[in-house]
Each structure stands twice: as C-alpha cells, then as structure tokens.
C-alpha cells in the first residue's frame, strides 16, 4: 500500500447496469496511470463481477497490491450469504484466486463478520492464518463498518491489517481513536474505506443524499451544510476537505477511493490534491466542526 490512496472496486461490480466491462477496464487502467498501486475487491461486489474485472486488468501486470475478502458473498440480486466456516473460507478463497487469475493474494480480509464472531474467530481466522503461513496470502485481517469488533480482533489475534469503513471521516472524527491506538501498539496496518460516508461528503446536503447508506438525518445535513458554507468562503470543495481530512491522520496506510469511471477517479484525485488554506481548517475548528486535536493536512 505504497501511497495514500487505493482504488476500491465495489462500484465496478455492484453497478453492472451503469458500468460496462470497457468502462471498468479504463477506470482500472487510469488508476494505474495516476500512480495507484493498491486495489481492493470482494466476491460480494457484484457476485464476483468486480473480482473478474480486476482479474482481467491484472493479467500480465506486476507490482500491484490486491486485497479481497472472504465470508460474505452475494449469490443473486436479493440473496447475501454469510459463512465463516473453515470449508467456506477455503472454498471462497479458491474461487477468488480463479476470478483474479492468480495463485497468491496480497491481503485477505474477513468481510463484515459483525453477527458471526464465534465462527469468525474459531474457524475463519485459523483458516486465514494457515493460508498466510503457506504463502498463498501475504497478509490477513478484517474489514468492517464498526470499531468494537475490529478492536477485539486486533487484541485477540495476530492479524496484519484492518479495513475500517465509515468510522473515521469528517463527520465521525473520534470513533476510531482507541482502535487506532491498539493498531499502533500491535503493529497492525490500517486501511480506511467509505471516507465520504456513503455519499453525503461528495454530494453535499442535497435531496436524496445518503449518510451511511441511509437517508440523511437532519442534524447531519445541518453539519454538512455548515461545512459547505465555510468551504464556499475559502474556495474549498466539500469532497476535497473530506478526502484530505481522512488522509491526514497518521494511522491509515491507505485510503480507498471508489469510482465508477476514469473521470470520476480523476475528479476524486484532483480533490485530494486541491489546495486548502489553513484558514479553512481554523474556521472549522472555531465553529466546532473539526476537533481541536484532530490531525490536519500539512
């Protein structure tokens, strides 16, 4: 994960009606051209479609880091299956190898084991550890939308990396502090996902916006509108502030960007490099919209 940003491939699989194979390929190619070297995927993203599209892109390429996930799959448009049993984990891993066209995967995460702690720790985790020992996997971890169980995994296993989604953002600034501290203490790398909180930090407080994949609560909409107002005074787009805030924390080794197209990826990376004056952050702090102790971009 040699760089602040990686590419999350969920949109390339979950939205096949919006993203055809050619568009997905161009998005992946453009990511490589723009210096992205870390690509995250999962069987859940389009019933294996994201993995297949990433695998087609990876053919003949070296030097890229790939992560996928086990434990959660989608078998059709309405059925999601969670299975953290040992046999299921090994079978899913083999299926991912086939779709990705490889015999080794750099990182494998347990995918959202929120309601499956016993199976995840007793069966799935030992299976991943064995795959790591065999060399079939470089690093193992868990990816979740919560901090408590990730913290427990970090304390009770020797996992290498976590993927934390939706819990360290411009709108959620303190939930991950204890988890980040535990990761630093135990040498566990951190990847951040969903730093735009499911859309609202990209779209702003507009009708139809989503926060954590649900309609936006009034207090969140008000907070976003206040941040946007400060941004307008300083010429700072909301998405630029959100991406740079997340990337400024010293804990993450990488921040995942999701994109449906090369153009969307280009816009996100441009926002991540957009100049932000110190006065913008100072005003947010003065209004209580950014914590006084939160790390900020240099």
* CA-based nearest residue to 212, from 269, 145, 263: 145
Checking if the pLDDT of 205 tops 90, the result is: no
Report strand pairing: 210-211 vs 214-215.
antiparallel
The predicted pLDDT at position 79 comes to: 84
Catalytic one of 45, 168, 174, 213: 45
Residue pLDDT, tens place only, 169-186: 999 999 999 999 999 999
The answer to whether 174 is a known catalytic residue is no
How far from each other are the two terminal CA atoms of the chain, in whole angstroms?
21
Q: What predicted TM-score, i.e. pTM, was given to this entire model?
A: 0.95
Provide the pLDDT for residue 23. 97
Q: Are strands 210-211 and 65-70 parallel, antiparallel or unpaired?
A: unpaired
What's the gap between Cα 285 and its chain centre?
A: 26
Q: Are 102 and 94 in contact (CB under 8 A)?
A: no
Tens digit of pLDDT for each residue in 24-42?
999 999 999 999 999 999 9
pLDDT (tens digit per residue) in 238-251 = 999 999 999 999 99
Evaluate if residue 3 carries a pLDDT over 80. Answer: no
CB atoms within 10 A of CB 56: 15
Phi then psi for residue 170, to 5 deg, are -60, -20
Structure tokens at 194: 């969903």
């Amino acid at each position: 994960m040699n760089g602040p940003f990686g590419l999350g491939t969920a949109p390339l699989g979950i939205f096949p009606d919006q993203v055809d194979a050619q568009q997905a390929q161009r998005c992946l190619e453009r990511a490589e051209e723009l210096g992205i070297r870390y690509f995250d995927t999962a069987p859940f993203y389009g019933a294996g479609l994201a993995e297949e599209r990433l695998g087609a892109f990876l053919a003949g390429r070296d030097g890229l880091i790939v992560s996928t996930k086990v434990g959660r799959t989608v078998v059709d448009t309405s059925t999601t299956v969670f299975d953290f049993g040992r046999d299921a984990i090994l079978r899913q891993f083999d299926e991912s190898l086939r779709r990705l066209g490889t015999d080794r995967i750099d990182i494998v995460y347990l995918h959202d084991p929120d309601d499956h702690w016993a199976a995840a720790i007793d069966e799935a985790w030992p299976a991943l550890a064995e795959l790591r020992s065999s060399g079939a996997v470089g690093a193992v971890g868990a990816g979740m939308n919560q901090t408590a169980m990730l913290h427990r995994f970090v304390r009770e296993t020797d996992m290498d990396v976590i993927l934390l989604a939706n819990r360290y953002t411009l709108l959620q600034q303190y939930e991950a502090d204890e988890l980040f501290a535990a990761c630093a203490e135990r040498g566990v790398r951190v990847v951040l996902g969903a730093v735009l909180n499911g859309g609202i930090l990209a779209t702003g407080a507009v009708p139809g916006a989503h926060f954590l994949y649900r309609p936006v609560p009034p207090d969140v909409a008000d907070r976003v509108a206040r941040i946007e107002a400060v941004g307008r005074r300083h010429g700072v787009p909301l998405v630029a502030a959100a991406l740079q805030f997340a990337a400024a924390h010293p804990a993450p080794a990488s921040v995942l960007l999701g994109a449906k197209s090369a153009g969307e990826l280009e816009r996100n990376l441009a926002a991540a490099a957009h100049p932000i004056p110190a006065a913008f952050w100072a005003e947010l702090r003065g209004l209580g919209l950014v914590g006084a102790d939160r790390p900020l971009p240099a």
